[in-house]
């Protein structure tokens, strides 16, 4: 049984030139840096949509602004494994926040992908780097969203990666597992946003990649590690994050699962 390439969620941009294992970084964090350095690790870019829509009830960043930012990050830090489009999440509280319907969120998600697919090459970024996201809440909604892409001329199964939206804050890994299985059976190479450890154990073999910021949420509720005297907790601590990642990989190995790229040959300099 294989497992996905795992990207550690990171909200500290300078980790890009500090570590050697894959990182999942947010546009909202990178935008705060006037200048980036060439990354020492593999990386993928999150659009920061959950925070932006939570705060504003809509996307404030235009596709043109996002494409321009992506071009700058790529020029300075190097190419990304994939770049998430500006999707619209479909959790019930997000739909309530925008005042729109799930179906409207899905239409806007697909429309943004199509627009960015045309825009990015004009900024020197290959369109194939852009990752669409299948959005929904119940399984029939995800299938409907996949059909929206198909009817728009997008063959999701032919793409290197397809995001699975609105799952990271769910408690039921069984429900998510059914959704993952249904989409994977259609040939989609899925990226799981914010997949929990239990989810990686249960359905990780059906994902192409996954990311998680769970280490930071865990650290926020704990005292700092011995020797970490400069901060109140380790929610932004590379030492804690690296050790959490190593424990996660070890737990999967202990279960007799082949981790391949998931494990990586590097454990990180801060381990």
Tokens of 159: 């793409």
Q: 63-77 and 102-119 helices cross at what angle (nearest 10)?
A: 50
* Predicted local confidence at residue 19, as pLDDT: 96
- Is 139 a residue whose pLDDT tops 50? yes
Q: 139-151 and 173-184 helices cross at what angle (nearest 10)?
A: 30
Q: 102-119 and 139-151 helices cross at what angle (nearest 10)?
A: 40
| H or E stretch covering 24 | strand 23-26
> What's the whole-model pTM score?
0.91
- What distance in Å separates the CA atoms of residue 190 and residue 187, rounded to the nearest whole number? 9
- What distance in Å separates the CA atoms of residue 141 and residue 136, rounded to the nearest whole number? 5
Give me the CATH code for the 5-262 domain, please: 3.20.20
Q: How many residues does the chain have?
A: 271
Beta bridge partners of 48: none
- What distance in Å separates the CA atoms of residue 163 and residue 210, rounded to the nearest whole number? 9
Q: Residue 205 contacts by C-beta under 8 Å, 6 or more apart in sequence?
A: 1, 2, 3, 257
Domain-wise residue ranges, the chain: 5-262
| Structure confidence at residue 64 as a pLDDT band (50, 70, 90) | very high
- Among 55-59, 68-72, 198-202, 221-225, the least confident range: 198-202
Beta bridge partners of 26: 46
Tokens of 21: 């294992």
Tokens of 208: 């192409």
Pairing of β 209-212 and β 190-192: parallel
- Is 76 a residue whose pLDDT tops 50? yes
* Predicted local confidence at residue 174, as pLDDT: 86
* Predicted local confidence at residue 171, as pLDDT: 63
């Amino acid at each position: 049984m294989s497992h996905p390439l795992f990207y550690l969620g990171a909200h500290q941009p300078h980790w890009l030139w500090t570590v050697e294992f894959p990182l999942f970084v947010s546009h909202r964090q990178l935008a705060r840096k006037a200048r980036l350095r060439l990354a020492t690790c593999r990386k993928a870019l999150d659009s920061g949509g959950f925070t932006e829509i939570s705060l504003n009830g809509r996307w404030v960043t235009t596709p043109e602004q996002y494409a321009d930012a992506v071009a700058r990050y790529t020029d300075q830090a190097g190419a990304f494994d994939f770049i998430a489009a500006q999707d619209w999440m479909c959790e019930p509280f997000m739909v309530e926040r925008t005042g729109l319907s799930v179906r409207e969120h899905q239409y806007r998600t697909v429309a943004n992908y199509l627009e960015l697919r045309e825009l990015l090459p004009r900024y020197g970024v290959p369109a194939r780097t852009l990752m669409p996201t299948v959005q929904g809440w119940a399984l029939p909604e995800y299938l409907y969203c996949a059909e929206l892409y198909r009817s728009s001329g997008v063959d999701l199964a032919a793409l290197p990666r397809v995001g699975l939206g609105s799952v990271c804050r769910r408690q039921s890994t069984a429900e998510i597992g059914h959704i993952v299985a249904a989409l994977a059976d259609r040939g989609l190479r899925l990226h799981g946003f914010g997949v929990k450890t239990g989810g990686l154990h249960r359905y990780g073999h059906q994902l192409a990649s996954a990311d998680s910021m769970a280490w930071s949420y865990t650290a926020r509720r704990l005292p700092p590690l011995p020797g970490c005297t400069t901060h109140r907790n380790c929610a932004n601590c590379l030492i804690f994050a690296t050790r959490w990642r190593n424990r996660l990989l070890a737990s999967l190995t202990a279960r007799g699962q082949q981790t391949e790229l998931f494990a990586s040959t590097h454990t990180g300099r801060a381990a």
